[in-house]
Structure 1
């Protein structure tokens, strides 16, 4: 996951797009009516809180007082009654830590690799069963052995054979539940890389400091931390008021088509639209020390995703008598022109999590450490021109890998093919682009921009241009260029997660309890976002309060998806403490007001 990321809101007023000199797109694409345009403007109100009726070492929490507009308002810290209520005190116990090491290693030692072709693989026992699913069966047996109280006290549902949904019903079941999610699967560790690993990927090794192995940082760390947090509460005889749901899919690494998709439908059938108070999944930007403060950076949005495919069709023939430009040549010109053009300049809107992050830095960062370009950019009236100038400065400073694509739609040609024989002119050539859509744009807008950018090439070389089955240009004689979509339907940017209200404050309370160590670090919770996508795309209808967050410090986990994946065990314990605190604090909220 990259650092700092943005947002958008379902069924809300669209974010106004920046004006430019590019002609307004014509109305040729049939997707114009079908695709969702998302976005909303976001205010950051402050709510005043009172604390009373302390029970089970946790405060009862109630909202009161008027909301006022402010930038990057922080929830107050929630006091502890005694040291024994502190998660870090509980989890620094040597016996507990030794047991947790073994629990974590045991999960890593069970390979649960997901491959792209497993989407259609047979998972039922019998002829044709894919043995690659055996790892999931072994993991399930391991979890049942390792967490006996969870299996005794919860109801387990399998909305697909290998999904796991544990429900701990509360004493007040009409209150909305908290859903904590992770995924069971890991990316494969190819045989060709095995000699490059310090320890075999599924050996599971603790060297006294780090936990090594595939899944140690993505995402068995979260799965085991969540399970251990609940098991610990049950060992203490905890009786929960509010329902708690743990949901673990099995195919996140290939998009969740049977995992989170089935879980999302199951939860929607169970609780209804907006029937969940709050959902936490992986993602976000973690915990980072910067600008003199410790930043907690949950992902409050995700970019969209679309893959336009360009097919060039020409007459074939013998290569000894070629035309001036073959289909491959024309396609090459299209690819080069799209790559060279500034189709998606940096842009910023006040609804963007990047803008929210900037405001947090300017408001709470140590003044001498806050960049001058940021201070200057946030001064004065925030016109679209001023915001886009700020976005350009951010992109330049953050750099291509670090942050440029958090303020613009990306474009990359990722697949290309053409020709079938050495001495035959190609009758077709095809290229596929992938774009991760900025929070202020829609798939429809992005596809229109691609079509407009290809139009000059079609005109210059006398080609007919057909975009999504609609003829945009009919020149006639030399061939046809077709634009369509590769793979799945376009994905609009995710709905915006509010960065105010009960759920946001709850997130902040848990974070301050764990990471604000005796006044050593001042913790600031700020919106963030991702350039990629997580399983949360299957959960949009469940709640507006979706947080993508792995509670770990930047620079303490390494090599997710590659050789020598590892995580600092102390970081795992902090994550475990965070889930524990969130569970306790959430359970003490007596109403659904603010959710």
Structure 2
């Protein structure tokens, strides 16, 4: 018995030693001694220019016939007048009338271009919510150090900020070594097929290959991420896939006074319940592992031990992350019932019932694999499962160790020296997915500090941006263009 206890004790000591060795071997991924970006004075006109853009309601609708294209014409006229040097010195062209592509020719054709992008269409303000806005959503009012309006965060800030940056650099007679491409879509909020997809296809046809792409995406999370109470600059290195399925049951219908044992509504409700109670398994290998690598050296010692030894503490980390919506969504393919259609009268049994269920696919999962698992979980041959639209697989996971990522990391540190930089999984979709044929280095980052509550303004009420934050955004883009010249 004593020998068994000694053996157990020895094994525990070996385990403890292994845990500590792994923990102390952790190295920080944070760049240090990064010189601050060259100070630039952003003129007051910059925020006024963005305010003017907000006053043009470039709302895009899934049904293109509902889109007021006169507002998009106004926007194009506005940017031409607002940024005269950009339109005089850069080659620019349009795609499907409103998609914009600018080319700032570099001096060294041997260097691949970089592509900086955004979109200037916005989502509608939900009917009846206008009264909930502190300031009207399309008035572009500046009060208390903030500019209010739809598009201040998603995503006119990027479009206008990039144009401001290039206009500034042109004023200083800066000439890039590397060609700079600016691509601005007009329909990102409705899948981006007229804008980004068309622009990307044209560049591919021309044989263009780029060093990296930077689109909207991660923010500077001022209230940190799980386990790290510091400002964290989150750079999206991948984005989840998208799939919507219709789950349909067909019954016999009839009078509600003589219902069958299970109605079509009951069958669909049961199917939805099964899917909700059998979520996709959590995984730490779909991109969130890179986030954990970057924050591991910045957390408390106990958390560091766990993150350095995920082979042992993986299930505990998964459980902890599953306690919040955003962290849970970053470690699994999510299941979200969004629409239910059935019945027309309270005393008539509907013949058919259909639920629409939306899935956001974690890298490593596929559209085909999700459909197969859904059928297995439902396990009812009377239920039809049909794909809605096409769906798309998750994007590639771009390398956070690439020179391009390091340039973005360096630039963030030069403008926001106190932040922790970390790669992460984008939960939503962006236009950047269309550019995967041009490069394997696609990153998603918006240099704006926001806390959890402030992010609710994206697509929500009281969307706003800090005046100082927008100025720093312009400083970031200026520094990034300069830093990307080698």
Q: TM (normalized to structure 2)?
A: 0.88
CA contact (8 A) 1:348 1:388 kept: no
Of 313, 318, 323, the residue aligned with 2:260 is 323
Secondary structure in structure 2 of the residue aligned to 1:552: strand
Cα RMSD (Å) of the superposition?
2.3
CA positional deviation for 1:514 = 0.8
Q: Any idea what the Cα deviations from partners look like across 1:81-110, whole Å, max 9, x if unmatched?
A: xxxxx44x212xxxx432112211111111
Structure 2: distance between partners of 1:536 and 1:173: 24
CA positional deviation for 1:230 = 0.3
Secondary structure in structure 1 of the residue aligned to 2:96: coil
Structure 2: distance between partners of 1:269 and 1:201: 39
Of 465, 485, 495, the residue aligned with 2:396 is 495
Match of 2:407 in 1: 506
Structure 1: distance between partners of 2:169 and 2:411: 16
Match of 1:24 in 2: none
Structure 1: distance between partners of 2:192 and 2:28: 33
CA positional deviation for 1:539 = 1.4
Structure 1: distance between partners of 2:126 and 2:258: 46
Of 301, 304, 308, the residue aligned with 2:245 is 308
Match of 1:282 in 2: 216
> Is residue 467 of structure 2 the alignment partner of residue 569 of structure 1?
yes
Match of 1:535 in 2: 431
Structure 2: where are the runs of 5+ without partners? Answer: 1-24
Which structure 2 residues correspond to residues 157-176 of structure 1 after superposition, within 5 A?
A: 157-176=93-112
CA positional deviation for 1:208 = 4.9
CA positional deviation for 1:259 = 1.5
CA positional deviation for 1:420 = 4.2
Secondary structure in structure 1 of the residue aligned to 2:70: helix
CA contact (8 A) 2:232 2:420 kept: yes
Match of 1:106 in 2: 52
CA positional deviation for 1:165 = 0.5
Structure 1: distance between partners of 2:473 and 2:207: 28
How many matched pairs? Answer: 457
Secondary structure in structure 1 of the residue aligned to 2:248: strand
CA positional deviation for 1:293 = 5.0
CA positional deviation for 1:551 = 0.3
Structure 1: where are the runs of 5+ without partners? Answer: 1-68, 81-85, 122-129, 459-464, 466-479, 590-595
> Is residue 74 of structure 2 the alignment partner of residue 145 of structure 1?
no
Of 443, 456, 470, the residue aligned with 1:547 is 443
CA contact (8 A) 1:308 1:434 kept: yes
Structure 1: distance between partners of 2:376 and 2:159: 46
Once structures 1 and 2 are overlaid, which stretch shifts more, 146-155 or 327-336?
A: 327-336
CA positional deviation for 1:189 = 2.1
CA contact (8 A) 2:31 2:413 kept: no
CA positional deviation for 1:324 = 2.3
Match of 1:90 in 2: 40
CA positional deviation for 1:75 = 4.2
CA positional deviation for 1:78 = 4.9
**CA 1:184/1:421 → structure 2, altered by over 3 Å: closer, same or farther?**
same
CA positional deviation for 1:423 = 4.7
Match of 1:431 in 2: 355
Secondary structure in structure 2 of the residue aligned to 1:506: helix
Structure 1: distance between partners of 2:340 and 2:301: 42
Of 279, 282, 287, the residue aligned with 1:353 is 287
Structure 2: distance between partners of 1:131 and 1:454: 39
Give the 4+ runs in structure 1 shifted more than 6 A.
none
Looking at secondary structure, tell me which structure has more helix per residue.
Answer: 2
Q: TM (normalized to structure 1)?
A: 0.72
Secondary structure in structure 2 of the residue aligned to 1:158: strand
Structure 2: distance between partners of 1:453 and 1:133: 45
**CA 1:174/1:157 → structure 2, altered by over 3 Å: closer, same or farther?**
farther
Match of 2:173 in 1: 237
Which structure 2 residues correspond to residues 327-476 of structure 1 after superposition, within 5 A?
A: 327-339=264-276, 341-349=277-285, 352-363=286-297, 365=298, 370=300, 372=302, 374-380=303-309, 382-383=310-311, 386-396=313-323, 399-400=324-325, 402-455=326-379, 458=380, 465=381
